[in-house]
Amino acid sequence: MAKRVVVTGLGVISSIGIGKENFWQSLIKGVCGVKKVGSFDTSGHTAHLGAEAANFNPVDFINKKKIKYLGRASQMAIASTKLALEDAGLEIKALKDLRAAVSFGTTMGEIQSFEKADQEWIRNGKEAIDVLDIYKYPSHNIPSNVAIEFGLKARNRLFTTACAAGNYAIGYGFDLLRCGRADLAVTGGADVFSWIAFTGFDKIGAIAPQECSPFDKNRKGTIPADGSAALILETLDRALERKADIYAEILGYGLSCDAYHMTSPSVEGIAECMRQALKDANIKDSAVDYISAHGTGTIYNDRAESVAINEVFGKRRISVSSIKSMLGHTMGVASALEAISCCLTIKQDIIPPTINYKTPDPECDIDCVANVARKQKVNIALNNAFGFGGNNSCLVIKKYAS
C-alpha cells in the first residue's frame, strides 16, 4: 500500500518576501516585486526590469565562514530549507537519524559562478579565473550543499528541467516517500538572476517593458526573477506521530513533453500533462477547485495554457491565477514557489490574484482571479509548470483530511 504524503513546512526566499508569512501577505495583497535590475547593467538591453530577491542576505542564514564556498543558488537553497525546517518544527539534530532526501529543481544552477569566471576568461584570460568559482559552479552542488548543511542522508537529486523543474523535484520527493525510500524529503528549487538568461529572454522579446500581466489582452512578456523555495514532505504517519501542523496532502503529479518546439508551447502537451496529473492523483476534473497557472505573461504561453485548461475542464469556470504577475518568472524555482502558494491557498481558503489585469483577452477565456484575492474554499489545487523544450509538469495538492 502506497504511503500518503503531506507538506509540513514551507520556506521562501523571494522578491516579495522572505519567509512564508511575508510571502503570503504580499501574495494576497497583490504586492509586486518588479524593479529595475540591480544585479548588472542593462543599458545594452531592450528590457530593464527584474524581480530579484535583493533583500536576501546569506549571513542571516549561514555561518559567515562557509559563505564564500557556496554559490548564491546554494546559499538561497540552504536559507529556504532552514526556514522550511523551522516552519515544520523539525530540529536539525533529529534529522541525522532519518532517511532525509533532498530533491531540488533549477534552470540555470550556479550560473553566477559561471558568469563571473567566464567574464574573467573573456577579459583577462583563463588563468585569471578564481578557482573558487569553478569549485562552486557544478549545479549538483545545490542539493549537496543543502544536505551537507543539515546532515541529510538519503537520495540527493537535482532536476534541471528548465522552468518546470520545481514540480519535478517535488514529484520525485513524493515518489520517494510514497514507496518507502525516505522518511522525509526537502523539496523545492533555487535559481539566481542570470546575465545569460536575461540576455536571451531579452533577445527573443520575451521580457515585458513595464509589468508582467498574465492573461491580459495587451500582455507583453514575462519579467525574469530569482529566489528559492523549500517544502518539507513527510509521510502522513510520521507527521501525525509527531503532531506536525499539516498544510496539505500531495496526491500525485503528471509529466509530459510537447516534442514540438524548444520555446513555443503546445496545447496538446499541456492538456496531456494535466490529464496525467488527474489520473495519477486518481481524481476527476470536477474535483479541482483552483489552478495555479504557469501564466508567464507571454502571448503564446497564456493562450496555449488557457485553451488547454478549457479543453480539460470543459465549460466549467474554474479559478485560475498566476502569481508570476507579482513575482515575475523565477525560472526553475517558479513551480516550487507556486506549490507553496497552493499549500497556503488550501490552508487559508484564499486565492491570490493575477495582478496587472486590465483588458480581457478572448483567447484567454478563463477566470483569472483578476487583481484582488478571492475568498473561496479550495479543496484541490493543480499547480502547472511548463519549461523550455516542452517539459511539462502538473502537481495535485489537496486539503488534508483524515
Partner 1 sequence: MKRKRVAVTGIGVLSCLGIGKEQFWQGFLEGRKGFKTPSLFDASDLETKIAGEITDFDPKDILGKKGLVDLDRATTLLLSAIQFSLKDSGIDIADINELTTGISVGTTLASLSSLSEFDRKSIEEGPHFVNPSRFPNTVINSPASRAAIRFKVKGPNVTISTGFCAGLDALEYSLDCINFNRADRMISAAVEEMSLPAFFGFNKLGCHSGGISFSEGASSLVLEELSAGLAREVNIYAEVLGTGSSFYPFRLHKFHPEAKSLIEAMREALEDACLAPEEIGCLFADADSRRDADLAQTKAIKEVFGSHANELPVNSVTSIAGDSFSASGGLAMVAALGALARKEAGKIMISSSGPNGSSTVAIIASYN
For residue 303, give the C-alpha cell. Answer: 493562450
Of the candidate spans 127-135, 222-230, 343-351, 378-386, the one that interacts with partner 1 by CB under 8 A turns out to be 127-135
Instruction: Tell me: does residue 116 bind partner 1 (CB under 8 A).
Output: no
- Give the C-alpha separation, 347 to 52, whole Å: 27
The question of whether 294 is a catalytic residue gets the answer yes
Which residues have CB under 8 Å from 224's CB, separation 6+? 50, 51, 193, 194, 197, 198, 201, 207, 328, 329, 331
10 secondary structure, DSSP code: E
Complex with partner 1: residue 159 or 313, whichever CB lies closer: 159
Q: Restricting to residues 354-373, which ones interact with partner 1 according to CB under 8 A?
A: none
Which among 32, 212, 273, 294 is annotated as catalytic? Answer: 294
Which among 329, 342, 364, 394 is annotated as catalytic? Answer: 329
- Using alpha carbons, list the distances in angstroms from residue 369 to 9, 95, 306, 372: 26, 40, 13, 7
Complex with partner 1: residue 92 or 375, whichever CB lies closer: 92
Helix/strand/coil for 193 = coil
Instruction: Tell me: does residue 92 bind partner 1 (CB under 8 A).
Output: no
Instruction: Tell me: does residue 69 bind partner 1 (CB under 8 A).
Output: yes
For residue 158, give the C-alpha cell. Answer: 537535482
**Residue from the set 325, 390, 399, 400 that interacts with partner 1 by CB under 8 A:** 390
Size of the site for partner 1 (CB under 8 A): 79
Contact predicate 394/167, CB 8 Å: yes
- Give the C-alpha separation, 205 to 81, whole Å: 34
Instruction: Tell me: does residue 61 bind partner 1 (CB under 8 A).
Output: no
Contact predicate 338/382, CB 8 Å: no
Q: Restricting to residues 164-223, which ones interact with partner 1 according to CB under 8 A?
A: 168, 172, 175, 178-180, 195-197, 199-204
Contact predicate 201/50, CB 8 Å: no
Which among 32, 163, 364, 368 is annotated as catalytic? Answer: 163
DSSP 296-355: -S-HHHHHHHHHHHHHHHTT---EEE-THHHH-B-GGGHHHHHHHHHHHHHHHTEEPPB-
What does the per-residue mask of binding to partner 1 show for 253-282, with x meaning CB under 8 A?
--xxxxxxxxx-----x--x---x---x--
**Residue from the set 65, 93, 122, 377 that interacts with partner 1 by CB under 8 A:** 122
- Closest approach of Cβ 93 to partner 1, in Å? 14
- Closest approach of Cβ 277 to partner 1, in Å? 11
Instruction: Give the residue from 232, 231, 205 showing the smallest Cα distance to 219.
Output: 205
Instruction: Tell me: does residue 386 bind partner 1 (CB under 8 A).
Output: no
- Closest approach of Cβ 375 to partner 1, in Å? 36
The question of whether 163 is a catalytic residue gets the answer yes
For residue 15, give the C-alpha cell. Answer: 522578491
Instruction: Tell me: does residue 312 bind partner 1 (CB under 8 A).
Output: no
Q: Restricting to residues 128-167, which ones interact with partner 1 according to CB under 8 A?
A: 129, 131, 134-135, 137-141, 143-145, 147-162
- Catalytic positions are 163, 294, 329
